Structure 1
Amino acid sequence: MNIDLLSHRHLARCMAIDEAAPFPWGKTHWSRSLRDDHCLGLWRGADLVAISAFTLVFDELSLMNLVVASGEGGRGYGRALLLGGLEWMQQLGPSRCILEVRESNVVARGLYRSVGFGEDGIRKNYYPLGAGREDAVLMSAPLPLDEWK
């Protein structure tokens, strides 16, 4: 497995992964992020198995999205891309990473906590959810992560 930068030429592969996700980000968001942000992919040979998008504002890194391909969950790909992506982004000098995650996404919240992210608060009614809305859990971690020290 290896982690590499993604570009707009990878849009179709990103969309194949995104469209199978429970809450797809959509073509507009991925197209913009592939152009403007730092998008990384986890490759298993020629297969793209996980994708991520990070953005950096001054010394604060934001994880915008991380998606593992359908049928590939539970194999450590999300963890590998999260840690590898944070390590990759360290070269740009961020002092912390922030993210928002659906309150119902207990798997992702557990992953983030396991690598050193703490829960900072709740953003009420942030995500669309069918006919209603869902809260976002705000999380952050100082960088570099203790796991790297």
Structure 2
Amino acid sequence: MLNIESVNHIGLRIEEKSRSVAFYELLGFEFVEDVGFEKGHPIIMKHPSGVVLNLLGPANAGNGKNILMDVEEKYPGYTHIALTVSDLGVAKSFMNDNNFEITGSFSFGDMSAIFIRDPDRNVIELDAYNNVHKEDLSGYSNHP
């Protein structure tokens, strides 16, 4: 077994630097450093919760579609990130107040979730647990 201690960062390919940085700043991420976006190196952003994003670019294809989620053919790859929030009602209000489209939702057991998209159509799932955070995955077939 490999002794994994934590997730280090999440890498996302983006098209337009300023648009994506502004989006993730609204979600509470802080700009750390641009280590060469135009040459394919990341813009590093960090959330106070410890989540780190590497925004890679610039994307040069896609025509406004996410190839893993928006086309009929199903390619292998990471389809979304899921972040736990303390209150889904507050998260929904925040999304509405900032004109973020909620693109889906589901619930099972003590968990409810909503989905949003970043400016490059990368999927972000926001999860909230009604009681104690449980690892019960029964009911996951309800996941969109």
What is the TM-score when the length of structure 1 is the normalising length?
Answer: 0.31
What is the TM-score when the length of structure 2 is the normalising length?
Answer: 0.32
Determine which structure has the larger strand proportion and give its number: 1
